[in-house]
Structures are given as structure tokens and as C-alpha cells.
Amino acid sequence: MNLAAWVWPATIGGFALVLALDFYLVARNPRQPSFKECVGWVSFYVGLAVVFGVVLLAASGPGHGGEFFAGWITEYSLSVDNLFVFLLIMSRFRVPREYRQKVLLIGIVLALLMRGAFIAAGAEAVTRFDWLFYVFGAFLVYTAWKLIGHEEEEEAGFSENLALRAVRWVLPTTDTYHGARLTVHHGRRMVTPMLIVMVAIGTTDLLFALDSIPAVFGLTKEPYLVFCANAFALMGLRQLFFLIGGLLDRLVYLSKGLSVVLAFIGVKLVMEALHHDGVSWAPEIPIVVSLGVIVGTLAVTTVLSLLKSARDAKAADRAEGRESARIEG
């Protein structure tokens, strides 16, 4: 993409402005958001992404516009899986419900900053070392296999990563929350669990980025599109956490759908790398096909998940009814 000098600063400034407004509203009135409020904010962020994509389609053509939409949908879908871990972190640190919005928002901002650095490093690496596309492709296929092979395993709990352990080791930490404050003074300056849980969410999300960012690089080689897809996916994640928190357990086939998407992108990346290296039988997969596979796979797995959950609920009700009748008889 031939971007004007003002595009990057304007884009980052726009994201910062929206996040600042979001933070102001959260800090002004800390509380558990209502269902209606979550629907409104998720619709707002999805609408922003769609408008951005449409403008990109008009300005740069269907190629880059399609790459953005494919990358954004993939990132957003993979981010839904992150919500399971975020829920574990919230439970592990016993975050008061009224402060969960602030924790998620600042954690997501930290994640976005770290992803930006990761994307910059990745973009520089892939321009210098073409063979990395083979590595990315193989890694995505391996990740897809892991998703399928371990989807039945139960989460044992949240395990603190190296960055979080380093923060605990370096900074003295209080045992209890002090409202929404990040630090307090008890003879010396100490950080509260509020800061620790924000670091936990931000750094844990970076581990998820090890899968998702190579996936987006498999759909587009443009760092600008990779960054925007990540930013739009992360910005709406806070409200999505509260909106579909009760729905997560019903998406029983989500891991299968995501594994298919990751495997497809991994194979696509390897095929295109082979094609560019002069292998005639390796096809270049059009972005329209990629977008169709991603949207179709996620739609099918979501519908099948909800149908299975509904059948299981009916079966449980019938079993409970038979048990009640047996006891009464």
C-alpha cells in the first residue's frame, strides 16, 4: 500500500481518541454494564470496523478491503477464545464486578501497545526473510492440530506468565483492593492487585497474539492492515466479554471452527510462498475465497454449537422430568 505520511498518525490518533472516550465513560461511573449497553458498544465498534473497511474498499480496491475484512473477522473470532482466559484471570484475582470494565479496558490497551511492537517486528522480519512464511504456515497448522487434539481438556486454571511473576517480584503488592486505585502508600508505595490483573490480561493476550498475528499475516502482507485488524478486534473485546459471557459455554464447536480457519490460513500461506518461489503447481488463493471460508466456517460452527446446546438442554430437562416422576412414584 502506498500510504500518505499522515495516514499512520491519523489512524493511531483516531484509535487513541475512541479509547480515551471509552476510558472516560468507564472511569466516571464504574459498574457492571447492562445488556443493552453492551449491545450498543459492540454494535458501535463493529460499525466502526465496517465503515473503515468500506472506506478502504473505495480508496484501495477490493484486494486490500477484502484483506482487512478477512483479517478483522479472523482476529475477532480468535479474540472470543481469549475471553475464556480473561474470565479465569478475573476469577483468579477476585476482581470486584464494578471494576471489571476498567481492568479489561486498560489490559486491552496494554495488549494493543505490545501487539503494535510485535507487528512492527514481524513486518520487518517477513520483508527480510521470505522463508518465515513457511514457518508461519507450519506453525498455524500445528496450532490448529493442537486445538483439535486438546479441545476436550478442561482448563486447570490460570498460570502466571514470566512478565507477571517479574512484576510481583520487583514491586511490593498489597493483599487487598483499594477501590480502583493502582497504587497506595502504606509506609512505602505499593501496587494493588488492580495493577497486577491489568498486567496479567495484557501480557496473556500477547501469548494469544503468537497465533493470531501470523494468521493475519497469512491473509495480508500489509502491516497497516494487520495493525488495524488487531486494533478493531481488541477495542470491542471489553463489551463482548460482558455480552456473551453466558454464551461462551454454549459455543462447544468454537475450537473446531477456529482450528479449521487456522489450518486453512496456514496451508494458504505455504501455498503462496511456494508459488512466489516458482513452484508452478502451488496456487495463489484469492482473498475472496479466504473470506468465504472464514465466514462460512465460523457461521456453521456457531449454528451447530447452539443447536447442540439446545438439544443437550432439552435432554437434561427430560432426564430431570423422568427422575422426578420416578421419585414421586
Per-residue pLDDT of the chain (329 residues; tens, 9 = 90+): 778 889 999 999 999 998 888 888 877 777 777 878 888 888 999 999 999 999 999 988 888 999 999 999 988 887 776 676 677 777 777 888 788 888 888 878 888 888 888 888 888 877 777 777 788 778 778 878 877 765 444 444 555 666 677 777 777 888 788 877 888 877 788 888 888 888 887 777 766 677 678 888 888 888 999 999 999 988 877 778 777 665 666 777 877 887 888 888 888 878 877 877 777 777 878 878 888 888 898 889 888 988 888 888 888 878 877 777 777 76
Indicate the number of domains in the chain. Answer: 1
Residue 299 forms part of a structural domain: yes
Q: What is the spatial distance between Cα 104 and Cα 241, in angstroms, rounded to a whole number?
A: 9
Q: What is the spatial distance between Cα 176 and Cα 25, in angstroms, rounded to a whole number?
A: 25
Q: Phi/psi zone of residue 185: left (φ > 0), alpha (ψ -120 to 50 degrees), beta? A: beta
- Expressed as residue numbers, the domain containing 16 is 7-328
Q: Please check whether residue 199 is in contact with residue 167, taking contact to mean a CB–CB distance below 8 angstroms.
A: yes
Helices (H), 29-131: 35-60, 62-92, 100-128
Residue 190 forms part of a structural domain: yes
The DSSP symbol for 296 reads: H
Residue 2 forms part of a structural domain: no
pTM, full prediction? 0.73
Q: Please check whether residue 191 is in contact with residue 46, taking contact to mean a CB–CB distance below 8 angstroms.
A: no
Residue 1 forms part of a structural domain: no
Residue 137 forms part of a structural domain: yes
The DSSP symbol for 144 reads: H
Residue 18 forms part of a structural domain: yes
DSSP per position, 221-279: --HHHHHHHHHHHHHTHHHHHHHSTTTGGG-TTHHHHHHHHHHHHHHHHHHHHHHHTT-
Residue 265 forms part of a structural domain: yes
Q: Residue 205, CB half-sphere, CA atoms under 13 Å: how many? A: 34
Residue 317 forms part of a structural domain: yes
